């Protein structure tokens, strides 16, 4: 008898999706390392390569403009895409995926709480799990409503919240910045010295949940994640990635339009600052809230470009390493944090003070190369990554076969 809610088989995977996910995972790794100064420890605690200031400035500028926020946006849309795949495929077999999906989110939430407390306070999976519950409410929405609300949450909500702060004058964003600075100051001796792991865990839990979740600006953060989920779910409904060879002209138009437009919008504030120009008072919320929308624009452009590149067999073979990492995204995301603890933090080698823009990029490339090698070796012998296998087991209540 067929189990109508059984997990999707390995052969049903969309190869382009895994490659895009692998690309996004590298970007998440890179930006997490890049942003540790000011988030995990005060910015001045990371001195980088002080003797190569010009190089540091150039790499730092380009990394933020090209990737800052874009990998997270891409990863969020992929989550919404994956939600739609799961519900559609279970529904096509005549099953009801709601119970399976809820169990999947509950397991993810448990993983994320442990991850944020024990390894990496910047964990985003807890927000994914929480917003995933709300995403379920959109399952039967029309395409038009799904896209409209997704765009509003992603593009207009951040600007609206910034405008509200400016009108009320209650110091919202500055208060958020002060909270982040205070949290980084508390973590600094624990992270850099590595002499009290249990205090590190307690401080991480406090910052990740008790403080951040009570900040008004967190509403914008959760809102744009949910909006990106909706956009990803809407993209799945259009069927473009399920048969990319039929829509190559469309992908080419998207890449050729959104990447230049996104980069132009991204460069607006730096150009204005270089000219010593400031936006008018009424326009300041728009400029401050622009980054989340720009991140989505560029993320979609990047994804479209990857899909086009995948249509050339030679290029696709070279990109297959990204696909291996993307197929084990949860495993690789969690193991990246182990590198943080044992290489960057004082619990291990304590290299964080040197992780300015240049070494952050070098470190990220090195770690990701190791993950490529491990992922290819593991998947040659196993059907799923270790964390993915356990997640499926916990979700479906049936131990899936691991070895090939």
| 142 conformational bin, left if phi > 0, alpha if psi -120 to 50, beta if neither | beta
Distances (CA, A) of 248 to 69, 262, 279, 312, 319: 26, 21, 39, 12, 18
What pLDDT, on a 0 to 100 scale, did the predictor assign at position 51? 87
What pLDDT, on a 0 to 100 scale, did the predictor assign at position 154? 87
What pLDDT, on a 0 to 100 scale, did the predictor assign at position 5? 45
Mean pLDDT of 342-355: 94
- CA–CA dist 169, 164 (Å, integer): 8
Mean pLDDT of 337-363: 95
Radius of gyration of the chain, Cα coordinates, nearest whole angstrom: 21
What pLDDT, on a 0 to 100 scale, did the predictor assign at position 21? 96
* Contact of 237 with 84, CB cutoff 8 Å: yes
Distances (CA, A) of 291 to 17, 179, 279, 286, 378: 24, 21, 15, 9, 37
Say yes or no to pLDDT of 384 above 80.
Answer: yes
Please give the DSSP secondary-structure letter assigned to residue 312.
S
pLDDT category at 179 given cuts 50, 70, 90 is confident
Helices and strands (DSSP H and E) totals, the chain: 18, 0
Tokens at residue 377, please?
A: 């070796």
Mean pLDDT of 7-11: 51
- CA–CA dist 72, 25 (Å, integer): 8
Say yes or no to pLDDT of 327 above 60.
Answer: yes
Mean pLDDT of 197-222: 85
Q: What is the pTM of this model?
A: 0.90
What pLDDT, on a 0 to 100 scale, did the predictor assign at position 281? 63
Please give the DSSP secondary-structure letter assigned to residue 279.
-
CA dihedral 227, 230, 235, 239 (to 10 degrees): 180
What pLDDT, on a 0 to 100 scale, did the predictor assign at position 283? 61
């Amino acid at each position: 008898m067929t189990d109508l809610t059984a997990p999707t088989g390995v052969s049903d995977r969309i190869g382009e999706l895994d490659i895009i996910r692998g690309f996004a995972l590298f970007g998440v790794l890179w930006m997490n390392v890049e942003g540790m100064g000011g988030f995990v420890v005060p910015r001045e605690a990371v001195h980088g390569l002080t003797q190569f200031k010009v190089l540091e400035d150039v790499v730092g500028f380009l990394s933020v403009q090209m990737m800052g926020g874009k990998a997270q946006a891409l990863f969020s849309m992929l989550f919404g895409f994956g939600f739609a795949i799961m519900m559609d495929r279970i529904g096509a077999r005549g099953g009801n995926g709601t119970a399976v999906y809820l169990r999947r989110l509950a397991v993810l939430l448990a993983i994320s709480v442990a991850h944020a407390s024990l390894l990496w306070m910047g964990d985003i999976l807890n927000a994914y799990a929480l917003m995933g519950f709300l995403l379920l409410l959109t399952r039967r929405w029309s395409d038009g409503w799904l896209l409209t609300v997704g765009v509003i949450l992603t593009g207009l909500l951040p600007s609206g919240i910034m405008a509200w702060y400016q009108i009320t004058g209650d110091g919202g964003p500055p208060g958020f910045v002060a909270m982040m600075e205070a949290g980084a100051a508390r973590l600094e001796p624990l992270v850099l010295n590595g002499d009290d792991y249990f205090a590190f865990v307690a401080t991480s839990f406090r910052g990740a949940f008790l403080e951040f979740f009570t900040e008004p600006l967190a509403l914008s953060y959760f809102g744009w994640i949910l909006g990106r989920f909706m956009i990803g779910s809407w993209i799945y409904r259009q069927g473009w990635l399920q048969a990319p060879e039929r829509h190559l002209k469309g992908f080419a138009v998207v890449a050729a339009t959104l990447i230049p437009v996104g980069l132009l919008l991204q460069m607006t504030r730096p150009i204005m600052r270089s000219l010593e120009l400031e936006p008018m008072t009424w326009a300041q919320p728009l400029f401050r809230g622009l980054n989340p929308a720009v991140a989505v624009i560029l993320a979609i452009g990047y994804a479209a470009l990857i899909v086009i590149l995948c249509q050339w067999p030679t290029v696709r073979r070279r990109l297959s390493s990204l696909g291996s990492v993307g197929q084990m995204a949860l495993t690789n995301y969690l193991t990246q944090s182990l590198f943080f603890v044992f290489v960057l933090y004082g619990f291990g080698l304590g290299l964080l003070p040197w992780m300015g823009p240049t070494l952050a990029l070098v470190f990220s490339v090195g770690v990701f190369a190791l993950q490529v090698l491990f992922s290819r070796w593991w998947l040659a012998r196993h059907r799923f990554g270790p964390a993915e296998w356990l997640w499926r087991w916990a979700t479906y209540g049936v131990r899936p076969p691991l070895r090939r």
